[in-house]
Each structure stands twice: as structure tokens, then as C-alpha cells.
Amino acid sequence: MNDTPIQPPRAERREHSFTRHGITVSDPYAWLRDPGYPKVEDEQVLDYLKAENAFFEAQMAPHKPLIDKLFSEMRARIKEDDSSVPQKDGEWLYWVEFEEGGEYSKYYRKPVKGGETQCYLDVPRLAEGHEYFSLNDVSVSMNGKLLAYSVDNNGSERYTVHIVDLETGEKLPDVIEDTNSALIWAAGDTMLVYGRANENWRVDNVRVHRIGSDPAEDVEIYHEDQLGFTVHTGLSADEKWLLMAAGDNETSEVRIIPASDPFAAPVLIKPRKKGVEYDVDIRDEELFVLTNDEHVNFRLATAPLADPGNWTTLIAGSDDFYLTGFELFRDFYVTHGRLAGLDQVQLRYYDDPSRVEPIAFPEEAYSAGTGNNPEFAVEKIRVVYQSPVTPGTVYDYHVAEQRLEVLKVQEVPSGHDPSLYAVERITVTARDGAEIPVSILYRKDRDEMNGGPAGPLHLYSYGAYGYAVAPGFSTTRFSLVDRGMAYAIAHIRGGDDLGREWYLAGKLERRTNTFNDFVDAARGLIERGYTSEGKISASGGSAGGELMGAVINQAPELWGAIVAHVPFVDVLNTMLDDTLPLTPGEWQEWGNPIESKEDFETILAYSPYDHVEAKPYPPMLVTAGLNDPRVTYWEPAKWVAKLRELKTDDNVLLLKTNMGAGHAGKTGRFEGLKETAEEVGFILWQLGIEN
């Protein structure tokens, strides 16, 4: 399907293999990993990536008018001079604003009692001159006088912390390098608590910086020695305690320290136990604990601070209700969960455990939760809501009146009429009998637009780490739907859409359930007349990119176009390399092929790169980030090289590597939107919908 005479680049095949557990595996494109990584300076590697980028540009060039049109219509759906709803935190109201044409937002505040508005963080100015710019955390001190923020200018996810005096606007000389954590003010705003990324990009520590001192003198107050565990910090709801949580994908352990004295001896809540996860928060002298120690769908327990490991059940675990989180306020608390796969937000009361007030939402498929609620003593809470046809809506929920007040509805400047669309939620029976929910959005006049039923459809999913893909609102999605395509989300195993067991059924030795669910969802949509074979486009990123690699190996005939963003497709090699940033912490998700022959064989049985073979494959667009520490650039590069060598079709195969970005691609509102327009343009091109 090439529209230009340029030939695709061919990476040299260099025979290479390795043997482990008595099994020999061929890896002919292993040379695409620069031995100097994280520096990538090998000229042969760079020449190949640049050649692929040139081929991408040449192939997409004839479709630039379509891509420009898509970008224009996507941009027209964005309110350019937009702002968030101000939220009170102490003596100030805080919000962010985008200016007309601005790639990045500015941070503002003004006194609650009246006074001048202050722009306390000018992100567009900070981003000037940088191809890539990412802001990790923005933290104003308790007294409102100091600001700490952390930035990354290349996509490596190593952030540099800067501190600003908000009264004078001057930057302090304190500059902290190589962080990747929250920034927590402590000890009366005289200290900043953070975590530093080690040489393998892992945060295995908690450190304290005294404001005005040399960061080289910062003190480590906690160090995690277990390989694969990372450390996260936070404050308790009442802001009296510093929370330090260490864990991996299945086990956790929490310590607390008085926020007034970060150098005090940490109090361990309960020792780690493999497979047991718990989160904590504190109100007065009572500890609240969310844990899966007794039920897979978690329970909420309490304990006295004096005896933090003595947990008493407050809300028992349920087979039906999946308890995903909680928030403490002075007079009440909020629980989050899912019932039949749909978000639930419930208010509960300390003095009456039987009193439960669910916040009711109007649609059958939606995404809902609490928003930014920084204060402990409140009479109303911020709530956010959206659905496939309902733009993002911000509410205040008035607790005493049990009433939602609309504060803001996402504006679509070019227009949006929900009545034009239909949303359905169906179930498809997978090959092992599991019932897979699928959310579907389409125009009511879709049949007329594409000449009848069984038209083109886009199928999306992720399917890993217990991440649920909620049926929310996306303005870019309408560039497909308004051209007669249906848009479907398959709520497959590996995500926790239907509870924790739904997640567990898609990991480790049951990983292939995720791939089978996606393929079976596609076939079910065909059987029910929503689409037909070869008219389905599909996309996924990172672990969702692994999903794309697995389903094209299993059922290449189903797909009319595939987009795989930073795809995790060289699973076996990555899980065998414990020097990579994420690998040790990922063994609980995928298995440890270093130690276990069984895990080695399980991963080898599905790893997409290892299963590319001589057969037809669908048209594909693959992306990578040269500085990506999560899915390293060579995974998609090796995969594409092997596909080019072995595939027997003439379908287009494109690899685009962002040479100055990381896992998330380009930054900025509109630069990122350009890449989305390229993705949608590729899909429409391959499905023959170029209008």
C-alpha cells in the first residue's frame, strides 16, 4: 500500500542467540541496543532509526492534507484560553490557565480574602527552547511562601527540583538533581522531603533537604534494600504525618514519621508479607488501612496509632463491590470503588458506620471520582464526571444537602451534540467462558454514513497492572466516530475493571487471557454486526502495545490497521535484564525468567518479538522514544526490523522514533495533538476513509 517509491529500510540481521534454562533463543536484532545505553551514540543504530523516520515521513507525506485537516478539527474542539476551577487551600485560591495558542499552562493563585492575582509558575517560559518538557510535581509550602517544582527536559524521567521564594519571585540556589517523586514540605516548611532516582532509575530512598543548604548534604532517612521495591512519599489527610510506602506490584509496607520532625524514628505499620498490599491514612489518633489481606477486593480497616498493626475491619471485602480507595476528611470520609465495572463514590461517617451515601450519576457508562480536595475540614468536596458523550464536568458536592453543583462543563468550541451519538455496553463471551464487557460509542446515523452495518470500528484496550480503561470523554475520538466509525473499549482481563480477580486473571501464567479476550471481543463485535473482518483498527501503548503485538501474531486477519505506541514487545529480553529501570519491580506482573524456567517458558510462549513469523501482517504504525526509560527504544526497533524481514504482505509498516522524547511522546497541548492526528490519519488511510 506504498504511495511513494521510497523503499523501507532494512536493518542488518546479525545472528545472535542466548541460552538459559537449557533453552536457546535467537535474537538477530540484539545489536540495535546501544551498548552505551542510556547514551545512544552508536552511529549504526542512529542511522537505522533516522532511516525509519525518513521512511515514515515519506509515506505520510501524501496524507498530510488529511492529517492537517484532522489536527485543525481536533484543535477546534479545544478551548484554547481555558482554565481550571479555582480551589481553596488555606488562605489562597489556586488554579491553572492556558492562554490562546499556549502549549503549557500557567499556575495562578490569589488570596481568599481578596487581593492581587499572582502567576506563581510560568510553565510556558520554563519550556522555552526545549523540544521536550515535563513537569512532575508542583508543591507550595504550608505557609504559602515557597514553591518547589521538578522538571525533565529530555524524557528520561530524571527530574530536577527548583525552589522559588514566592514573596520575591527569586529562585533559591537549592537545586536537587535526579529526583522522581512527590515533593513534601515538612518541619514548618524548613525542609523538603523527596526521593532520588538511583543509577537504574529506581527510587529506593527518602531524603530530606534543609532549605538553604547544599543538596549534597541532604540526609537519607529511609533506604529500601529489596530489589524491585520502589518508595513513594505523601502526607496524611490531617498533614501531621509523613507516609513512606515501599512496594512492588503485589506487596507493600508503610512507615510513618511526624511531619514536624522528619528525622524521628519511623514507625512501621505492619511488616511486609508477600502478596499483601496496604495503603494507610491517619485522622486524629486513628489509622485507616485499605488492604487485600483477607479479601481479593480489599477491605477497609482501622487501628489505633499506638498499635498500628492491630487492624479491625470497618468495611469488609465484597465479591460484588471492588473497594479501590478512600479519602479522609475531618467530619466524614469517602470510599471509591467499582460495582459491575462502573465507578462508585460514597460518603461515609465516622460516628455511624452503617450510614452510606452514594453519589448518584445519570448514565449507564461513565467515569467518575473526586477531584482536587486539598483541605481536611470541608463542607463540600470536588467531584469530576464524564462519559463517552458527556464532556468532563466539575462539581462541588454539598455534603449536608447531598447536592451536586455544576461548576464547569468542558467546552467544545467547534460544537458537540450528545444527541447525535449512542453508547452501548455489551458483553462478549470469551473462548473460556468469561464475559468481557465492551463499551461502544457510535453515531446514530452510522449506517447511512458507511453504507450499512458492519462498518469500520476502532478497538482499544490496555490490559495490564490492574489499570481499568474507564468509558470517558475524548474530543479526538470524534474524528473517527464522525466519519462513520464505531469506537469500542474492551474491558479485558489484566485490567481491574470488574474487580481485583479480573486483574489477577490476566497476569503471570494467565497472561494470555488478556490477548485472547481482545481477539474474542473483536470477533464478538463482528458476530453482532458492529463491524467486519479487516475493518477493525486497534491501538495500544506500552503494555497495550504488547497487546497489539500479541493479537497480530494470533489473528492478523482481523485488523485493518494497528497502532502500537512504545510497545513492550521484547518481553523476554527485558525481563531477563535486571539492570533496566523497571525490570525487578515487574517480575510480579510478568514472572522472573532469570530464576524460573517455568516463567521463562511462559513469557517465551507469547513474547511478540519472539513470535514474528513468515505470514501476512496488517498495516502498522509503531512509535518509540529514544530517551524512554520504561519501554526502551530498541524494543519497537527490533520488532519492526524482524517484521520487515519476515512478513509476506505488502502492507505498510512504519516506525517513528521521537529522538528527543521519552515514554509519553511529544509534550505540549498541540505538539502532542499533532501526533494524535498522525495516528488517526494513518488509521483512516488504511481503512480507506480519507475525507
Q: Annotated catalytic sites, by residue?
A: 542, 628, 663
CA distance 48 to 45: 5
Q: Is the dihedral of CA 636, 642, 648, 653 positive or negative?
A: positive
CA 526 to chain centre: 29
Sort 644 into a burial class: Cβ within 10 Å, 0-12 / 13-18 / 19+.
middle
Contact 392, 384 (CB under 8 A): yes
Contact 584, 227 (CB under 8 A): yes
For 13, other C-beta atoms within 10 Å of its C-beta total: 12
CA 421 vs CA 290, 484, 532: distances in Å: 39, 11, 21
CA distance 143 to 70: 46
CA distance 320 to 501: 11
Q: Where are the alpha helices (DSSP H) in 110-203?
A: 123-127
The C-alpha cell that represents 369 in the structure block: 471520582
CA 380 to chain centre: 28
CA 115 vs CA 86, 319, 374, 631: distances in Å: 15, 52, 21, 47
User: What order do you get walking across the sheet with 321-328 strand by strand?
Assistant: 321-328, 333-339, 342-349, 352-358
CA 279 vs CA 104, 511, 578: distances in Å: 33, 26, 27
Contact 442, 422 (CB under 8 A): yes
Amino acid code (one letter) for 48:
Y
Contact 627, 22 (CB under 8 A): no
